[in-house]
Amino acid sequence: ETGVTQSPTHLIKTRGQQVTLRCSSQSGHNTVSWYQQALGQGPQFIFQYYREEENGRGNFPPRFSGLQFPNYSSELNVNALELDDSALYLCASSLDSGFTDTQYFGPGTRLTVL
């Protein structure tokens, strides 16, 4: 059983650009959740996808969007990057929708916006 992987590890963008971050869930996990972890803070929930449909969203603007694919991979897209978007972005996969199942986190992608 492979773990959750994310790519790239690090990324540097400039304000106004767009970015796509990728996550590969554990095989068989139908749910992926994305979190933003600012420096010195705990992770904050962005949104969750279950079987390719958005299944809940945190307090993030629409320029944060996502996709989930049938092969257990997913993407987080951020448009019109702002300096405050600099953070570690974590994805977590789980078997079922909601948050009762254990979530398995990837190592994260560190995004720096200049």
CA–CA separation, 30 and 32 (whole Å): 7
Decide whether 35 or 81 has the Cβ nearer to another protein.
35
Provide the minimum distance between the beta carbon of 6 and another protein in the complex, in angstroms, as a whole number: 8
Decide whether 40 or 70 has the Cβ nearer to another protein.
40
Residue ranges in contact with another protein by CB under 8 A: 4, 33, 40-45, 48, 56, 58, 90, 92, 98-108
Residues 6 or more apart whose CB falls under 8 angstroms from that of 31 comprise 48, 49, 50, 55, 93, 94, 95, 96, 97, 98, 101
Decide whether 81 or 108 has the Cβ nearer to another protein.
108
